[in-house]
A and B are shown apart, each in its own frame.
Chain A
Amino acid sequence: MATLRVVHYLNQFFAGIGAEDRADTPPDHREGPVGPGRLLQQALGDRAEIVATVYCGDNYAGEKPGAVDEILDLVAEHRPEIVIAGPAFSAGRYGLACGEVTRRARERLGVIAVTGMHIDNAATEVYRTRLHIASTPRTAAGMADGLAIMARLALKLASGTALGTPADEGYVPTGRRIFEMAERPAPLRAVEMLLRKVRGEPYTTEWPVPRYHRVPAAPPLQDTAQATIALVTTGGLVPHGNPDRLESGFATKWLRYSIAGVDALPPERWQSVHGGFNTSRINEDPHRVLPLDVARELEREGVIGRLHPEFYSTTGNTSVIPTMRRFAQEMGRELRAAGVDGVILTST
């Protein structure tokens, strides 16, 4: 088998250019392995050769428009079959650069691309479904371990053999589903897993549960009488007939409707399209999911300063968490820009 050509990507620090003060270093390259690249070469053995190392300052890679294109131009000069970036450990900017360089290398150059970082690096959430990311320790003390996993992953992907589980191979779960037939039916596997667990023997779940990100609650409003309050609901409330086609489950969008000068939501004009519960009570009286009537009273009484003239709506049913996170971020940005101080979120 011919030796595979590898280009290794590093930031300015690991390339030996300098620390934070050199984070603006533009992309450049050198023949052969540099710094941790020597360990990587050992891990790759004789099946692959690091023909060049491309490096760039973290700030330059993250902030300069077109930086990743410049990096990829340098990578392409060396005609690699494999691109390996990092590992970035817990470093956020470096992680994002490694993620973007490997993603784009795969898409633009059609090469095998692997990076490595710690599971808590913010870049894993961004890139894990699109890349194979080796799961590394938090700090560079775990350099040898991280590089060994990256080398093994890269060679395995290059050879075209199927990858094992994330736990066995040491990569961050990509979320990709493989539908298959197990050797034995589920009831037998379940009883055996339970017996192993209750006997204190090792067992492995077939389906790891996700780790949820906790969102810290915002501090309470100091003075609601001065505050602008918006109404937001995941109850699927839309104008009658659902003109914007909000989904009843698996929502792909959120919507915004004017309530300027409106004191009530009559059932002949508003309805819920939520598909996860019996909507008939809401369709009798839409205030049950969006309390505009009470909110207007509070506004008149001066308990709240002002009601935001639009409400936000989506359907919180069989929702995909990253999608919902994005909805919240998009809504939050708009509401903040509109000077909204607080939100009454009615869920179902």
Chain B
Amino acid sequence: MRLEVGTIQIRDVEIGRATALTDHTLVIDREELRTLVLEDSHFADVQVHLVKPGESVRVIHVLDVVEPRWKVAGPGGVFPGFVSPALTVGEGRTHRLAGVAVAEVGAPVPGESTVFRQRLIDMAGPGAELSPFAQTLNVALEFTPNMACFPPGSEQIKDFLTGGPESHEYNRAVLTAGLKVAARLGRTAREATPDDVETFELAPCDPALPRVVCLLQEVTATPFLYGVHVSLPLGALLHPNEFFDGAVVRWNRGYVGSTYGEQNHPVLVELCRRHGRDLNFVGCIVFGGTTVSSAEKEASSSAVAKMARVLGADAALVIGLNGSNHAVDLMLSIQKCERAGIKTTLVYNDVGEGPDDPGFIFAVPEADAIVSAGSRVQKVTLPRMARLIGGEHLVDPYMDARGELTVPMRYLCCSVDTTANTRQTVRFE
């Protein structure tokens, strides 16, 4: 599978009469985007905000963030299963509007679970240095729900992780709308000449190079793969190019990252760049979900190690999700890989507080090579911003967002997440 990713570096985004790419400026017809979003009856309205680096702006209630891309050659299209047919992607040519991000913004709707929901972007100040989306030109879509979608009774949170069915359906509509807008903006680049083209192809290479697999762990709120939203305790095999074409779409929750992060996954990009030189990158295994019994954890971790063996892996770069019961699945997977002779390195976020807390819910001695990619619970203080988008207060817990805020790092959108796109680290004395 050979994919050329053409980068068009966007220097500015403006509101104009027609959505188009002019030189390196993206012009957006606000009404066109509104019409596109309001095709879906889940929404009563949507506001299109432009938010730029350095502005004193705070965007709260951020859901997913997406990079505008468009498939210019090859099978399928971007965001398969949402805006394109659910066909295997990752071949041909894709253009990206680098430096632009579409952010979905909205307060919780009736019946929606608010656990780990809160994420914000500060475009200036100390928060801006920590969030990747303070460096991008952001098209923030602020949705107003159509309350007819929420009949009496839908406000009940039947399952505190997934919320009620109406809220779940609504948030899927939000995701879809964000992807539609990102694809629409990406389409402006279909005839553009990229500033740079990078080819991603895991071509046959020197058999002496170590065979490396990337294991990517998911939690209960697994991502969508080709529009399919299912738990993946027994794993799924993906080519890295599928990520770059938007086959992996994030369910908008807390610290698990963003679709933007998957499209530009820095670990996968690094492994691809080293392919044929330092290593032989043999593919990605996405795994995880709700495993409620020891038997399911054994089955899940066994399946992951087995898939790595089937791929003939000598080494596995593991991206784990720390905290809660899925930490057990992760550590058992590492143990089983190591026992099968597959060397592992884990990229992990810290969730511990205080010197008595080592930061691990569960660990195995085989996890002896860990890179610390920051702490989700480290406190960060954010000064007041002049303009606020998305509402005036955070939820769960309630916090006034208008003034100075002190929040855990995970509140800063994708500052610390599973793509490890950070220099933040935690050292232990």
Kindly provide the distance from the CB of A317 to the nearest chain B CB, expressed in whole angstroms. 8
Bound complex: CA A189 to CA B370 (Å): 10
With an 8 Å Cβ cutoff, the count of chain B residues facing the other chain is 63
Bound complex: CA A250 to CA B324 (Å): 11
Q: Is the CB of B356 within 8 A of A187?
A: no
Q: Is the CB of A195 within 8 A of B367?
A: no
B212 within 8 A of partner (CB): yes
Q: Is the CB of B420 within 8 A of A278?
A: no
- The residues of A that contact B370 with a CB separation of less than 8 Å are 205-209
Interface hits, B250-288 → A, CB 8 Å: 266-267, 269-271, 274, 278-279
Q: Specify which of A205, A207, A275 is in contact with B115 (CB 8 Å cutoff).
A: A275
Kindly provide the distance from the CB of A318 to the nearest chain B CB, expressed in whole angstroms. 6
B231 within 8 A of partner (CB): no
Q: Specify which of A191, A207, A208 is in contact with B274 (CB 8 Å cutoff).
A: A191
Question: Binary interface profile of B, 309-337, with partner A (CB < 8 Å = 1, else 0)?
Answer: 00000111100000111000000000000
Bound complex: CA A209 to CA B372 (Å): 12
Q: Specify which of A185, A206, A321, A322 is in contact with B427 (CB 8 Å cutoff).
A: A206
Q: Is the CB of B428 within 8 A of A176?
A: yes
The chain A residue sitting closest to B419, CB to CB, is A187
Among B317, B324, B325, B427, chain A packs the most CB atoms within 10 A around the CB of B427
Q: Is the CB of B324 within 8 A of A186?
A: no
- The residues of B that contact A279 with a CB separation of less than 8 Å are 160
Question: Binary interface profile of A, 196-237, with partner B (CB < 8 Å = 1, else 0)?
Answer: 011100010111111010000000000000000000000000
B429 within 8 A of partner (CB): yes
Question: Binary interface profile of A, 174-197, with partner B (CB < 8 Å = 1, else 0)?
Answer: 111111111111111111011101
A280 within 8 A of partner (CB): yes
Q: Specify which of A191, A275, A320 is in contact with B317 (CB 8 Å cutoff).
A: A191
Q: Is the CB of B314 within 8 A of A190?
A: no
- The residues of B that contact A209 with a CB separation of less than 8 Å are 358, 360, 363-365, 367-368, 370
- The residues of A that contact B372 with a CB separation of less than 8 Å are 186, 206-207
Q: Specify which of A165, A195, A207 is in contact with B426 (CB 8 Å cutoff).
A: A207
Q: Is the CB of A320 within 8 A of B356?
A: yes
- The residues of A that contact B24 with a CB separation of less than 8 Å are none
Q: Is the CB of B423 within 8 A of A185?
A: yes
Q: Which of B68-76, B178-186, B199-207, B342-350 contacts A (4 or more CB under 8 A)?
A: B342-350
B210 within 8 A of partner (CB): yes
Q: Is the CB of B369 within 8 A of A203?
A: yes
- The residues of B that contact A278 with a CB separation of less than 8 Å are 159-161
Kindly provide the distance from the CB of B222 to the nearest chain A CB, expressed in whole angstroms. 15
A42 within 8 A of partner (CB): no
- The residues of A that contact B315 with a CB separation of less than 8 Å are 194-195, 197-198
Q: Is the CB of B355 within 8 A of A174?
A: yes
- The residues of B that contact A179 with a CB separation of less than 8 Å are 374-375, 378, 424-426
Bound complex: CA A290 to CA B165 (Å): 29
Q: Is the CB of B274 within 8 A of A178?
A: no
- The residues of B that contact A26 with a CB separation of less than 8 Å are none
Q: Specify which of A177, A190, A276 is in contact with B350 (CB 8 Å cutoff).
A: A177
Q: Is the CB of B426 within 8 A of A189?
A: no
Interface hits, A265-281 → B, CB 8 Å: 275-280
- The residues of A that contact B352 with a CB separation of less than 8 Å are 177, 320
B339 within 8 A of partner (CB): no
A242 within 8 A of partner (CB): no
Q: Is the CB of A175 within 8 A of B368?
A: no
Q: Specify which of A163, A203, A205 is in contact with B429 (CB 8 Å cutoff).
A: A163
B359 within 8 A of partner (CB): yes
Known: A187-B267, A320-B354, A321-B358. 7 other contacts (CB 8 A): A129-B356, A175-B356, A179-B378, A180-B425, A187-B270, A190-B420, A207-B428
The 5 closest A-B pairs by CB, nearest first: A175-B355, A209-B363, A129-B355, A186-B420, A194-B345
